[in-house]
């Protein structure tokens, strides 16, 4: 099983919008073990362009190249957070940007490469140059508006070294899995390598054990007797937007007990409404995705509430330090 990340649970994300956590939610409902869901990685610099979903990614290589972060009034701010300034790691930069945006009430910050040689910038970052130009921003002359976006989930379906979940014969590979390899904070670029290594292990293990199992080919058809035609789509799409708002507002980069409790209470209302809708309407892709998003949101907040410390990608103002 590989059904990607869970970014679409958040309002701002770099993930494709099919990333609604379907695999994780299925395993959770089947009583499999799901772990480390509180460790959601936010990419610090997604292009801020309201209405774009998913958000376009401005690679961190740009900060490596010399790009400088600035608030909307043009001032540098990373000196307040880390001696490495704009070269600080992803989670520190994302938290710093989040803090500046919240304190100032701004929707984004800027990434500035205008001091670099324009020819070099175009050569190193042709896609970013073209994308921004298409929106009327010449990055060799103007600052790039950026904001953090949900990007990667370290946790997921707990698997062993063969990629097998706690449910026998169910394998999980890729972002939906939790191998433990990333700990609480993924280093950039490790996920694709992880997926390849675990897919190889899963394939080999399956070949070793495949003869030991019987299969039941008599799986009954889905029975939707007693359900009515799908409800108005607006009920589902509106609830999806509410999940996005709850997750981004209260379960984002910086958390607190109060924010998580508030998120929990609001998600609970959506859960009750959606379960009742699901039971009485013919199943559609959209209602299944909404249900899965609510399941995944619930898992992220419950596991965030259980972790009474700040560690890796989970940061809470109520417990700002890691437990020893
Ligand atoms: C913009 C961006 C840049 C990234 N850059 C890097 C990088 O440089 N290096 C790195 O290591 N990682 C990177 N990552 C992370 C990496 O791409 C993902 O972790 C990885 O692709 C996850 O693989 P996957 O197979 O689990 O999911 P995906 O690649 O998302 O594939 C999941 C597939 O499942 C399908 N699907 C979804 N729902 C269902 C369903 N219900 N039923 C059936 N099919 C379904 C989807 O259509 C998709 O084809 C990046 C991620 C993003 C978003």
Kindly calculate the radius of gyration of the chain based on its CA atoms and give it in whole angstroms: 21
> pLDDT digits over 265-298, tens only?
999 999 999 999 998 888 889 999 999 999 999 9
In whole angstroms, give the CA distance from residue 126 to residue 142. 16
What six digits make up the tokens of 242? Answer: 């509410």
- Ligand 1 atom closest to the Cα of residue 190 is 11
For residues 235 and 121, which has the higher predicted lDDT (pLDDT)? 121
Nearest to 2 by CA among 161, 163, 205, 151: 163
Mutate to test the pocket of ligand 1, among 3, 22, 146 (most ligand atoms within 8 A of CB): 3
Q: Which residues contact 324 (CB under 8 A, 6 or more apart)?
A: none
Quick check: 266 and 246 in contact, CB under 8 A?
yes
Mean pLDDT, all residues of the chain: 94
Q: Is 261 helix (H, G, I), strand (E, B) or coil?
A: helix
**Displacement of CA 3 from its chain's centroid (Å):** 13
Q: Is residue 62 within 8 Å of 43, Cβ to Cβ? A: no
Tens of pLDDT along 76-107? 999 999 999 999 999 999 999 999 998 999 99
User: Of all atoms in ligand 1, which is nearest to the CA of residue 151?
Assistant: 53
Q: Residue 48, CB half-sphere, CA atoms under 13 Å: how many? A: 17
């Amino acid at each position: 099983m590989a059904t990607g990340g869970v970014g679409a649970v958040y309002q701002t994300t770099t993930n494709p919008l099919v990333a609604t956590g379907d695999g994780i939610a299925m395993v959770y409902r089947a009583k499999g073990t799901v772990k480390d869901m509180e460790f959601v990685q936010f990419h610090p610099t997604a292009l801020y362009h309201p209405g774009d979903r998913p958000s376009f990614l401005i690679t961190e290589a740009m900060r490596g190249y010399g790009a400088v972060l600035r608030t909307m009034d043009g001032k540098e701010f990373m000196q307040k957070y880390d001696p490495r300034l704009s070269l600080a790691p992803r989670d520190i930069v994302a938290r710093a940007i989040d803090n500046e945006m919240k304190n100032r009430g701004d929707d984004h910050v800027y990434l500035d490469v205008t001091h670099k040689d324009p020819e070099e910038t175009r050569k190193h970052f042709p896609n970013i140059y073209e994308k921004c130009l298409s929106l009327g921003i010449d990055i060799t002359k103007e600052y790039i508006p950026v904001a953090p976006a949900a990007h990667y989930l370290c946790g997921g379906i707990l698997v062993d070294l063969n990629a097998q979940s706690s449910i026998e014969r169910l394998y999980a590979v890729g972002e939906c899995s939790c191998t433990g390899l990333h700990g609480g904070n993924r280093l950039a670029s490790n996920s694709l390598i992880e997926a390849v290594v675990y897919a190889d292990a899963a394939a080999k293990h399956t070949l070793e054990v495949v003869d030991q199992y019987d299969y039941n080919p008599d799986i009954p058809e889905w029975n939707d007797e007693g359900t009515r035609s799908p409800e108005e789509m607006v009920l589902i799409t509106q609830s999806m937007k509410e999940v996005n708002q709850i997750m981004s507002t209260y379960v984002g980069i910086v958390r607190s007990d109060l924010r998580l409790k508030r998120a929990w209470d609001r998600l609970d209302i959506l859960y009750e409404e959606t379960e009742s809708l699901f039971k009485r309407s013919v199943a559609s892709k959209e209602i299944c995705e909404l249900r899965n998003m609510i399941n995944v949101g619930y898992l992220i907040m419950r596991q965030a509430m259980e972790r009474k410390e700040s560690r890796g990608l989970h940061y809470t103002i109520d417990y700002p330090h890691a437990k020893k």
